[in-house]
Amino acid sequence: MIRTQLYTTDFARPKIVDGMWPEMVDDRTRRRVFPIPSVVSLIGQTPLVPLDRVVGNLSPAVDLYVKLEGFNPGGSVKDRAALSIVQEALRTGELSPGKTLIDATSGNTGISYALLGAALGFPVELVMPADASPERVQVLKAYGAKLVLSDPAGRTDGARGVAQQMVAAEPDRYFYADQYNNPANPLAHYTTTGPEIWQQTAGQVTHFVAGMGTSGTMMGAGRYLRERNPAVQLVGVQPTSSERSIPGLKHLATADALEIYDPHLVDEIAVVDVDEAKAMARRLAREKGFFVGISAGAAVVAALEVARELAEGTVVALLPDGGFKYASAPFWA
């Protein structure tokens, strides 16, 4: 059996239990809270694979790997954070029978919530900018989530404002998941993503590259890797500006402040233009058979820049989702 770390509110000391996915246990009574259904057992343990052909001329002593989070059942890395948030809310009773989970989303986290709502039996309501790709809207409807479309000019920050107003108007109806400020978000990556990368590289990772959306992936996985090796370099990825946005990523200078983000943890912020990200997503599909999203293309662009400057090292770029939710975008052609 694989030893898997159990989500807990203790960020520094995650518990270890046997089994592919453990049952939730109340820390005080040690009683089982609820069993994990089979679809949830598919979250995590995503593949880490090398890049060749795409990488160009790198030093022979430099390895570049990508972690393919599109292999999660909801199609993105957000399955990890959503599961952690839901598990903690069920444990504490914040998400109780009769309550609806609500949050703002650009799409991926919403899909993860909707999947979990269908699997675990709680209603999901999501606020999403109205310019979200039609594929995302259709997937959410397929899972039975209720959608509220917000002004696209406000992007996800505007959607957050709408969600907060809805919760303030009916506080007893909703559990506000608040992925941008919920500590269970980075905890998911501290207890799963980081340990997986460390294990899959046999502790050889020297640089970790990930996009900055909620910042949960970098804060959790980056903190774990830094604890295992203080010399690991952490590189965040953002778009060039809020006007030239990349789906799922924040332009930190113009976005609302994120409570879970610690700027002192990150060594470097790589800036990638949206056209570069799209071009790389096309290359990955046509030269590697990796059908990934636009933010995944941005992560590879940034990781290549890091790798080209190294004489030796192991660079890992996290590719947050697959490309199927962007299939209608014209740039593929």
Q: Any idea what the CATH number is for the domain that residue 272 is in? A: 3.40.50.1100
Residue 237 and residue 212 in contact, taking contact as beta carbons nearer than 8 Å: yes
pTM of the model: 0.86
Please say if 78 is a catalytic residue: yes
Are residues 135 and 200 located together in one domain of the fold? Answer: no
Please say if 295 is a catalytic residue: yes
pLDDT band of 4, cuts 50, 70, 90: very low
Of 157, 176, 195, the last residue of a domain is 176
Find the catalytic residue in 67, 78, 250, 325.
78
DSSP 24: P
Q: Is 107 left (phi over 0), alpha (psi -120 to 50) or beta?
A: left
**Domain limits at 48?**
43-76+186-332
Residue 181 in domain: no
Compute the distance between CA of residue 290 and CA of residue 254 in angstroms, rounded to an integer.
31
Find the catalytic residue in 84, 106, 112, 295.
295
Q: What is the mean pLDDT of residues 77-81?
A: 97
Of 156, 176, 196, the last residue of a domain is 176
Are residues 99 and 166 located together in one domain of the fold? Answer: yes
Q: What is the DSSP string of 274-306?
A: HHHHHHHHHHIIIII---B-HHHHHHHHHHHHH
Residue 216 in domain: yes
Q: Write out pLDDT tens, residues 163-222.
A: 999 999 999 999 999 999 999 999 999 999 999 999 999 999 999 999 999 899 999 999
Domain count, the chain: 2
For residue 141, the one-letter residue type is K
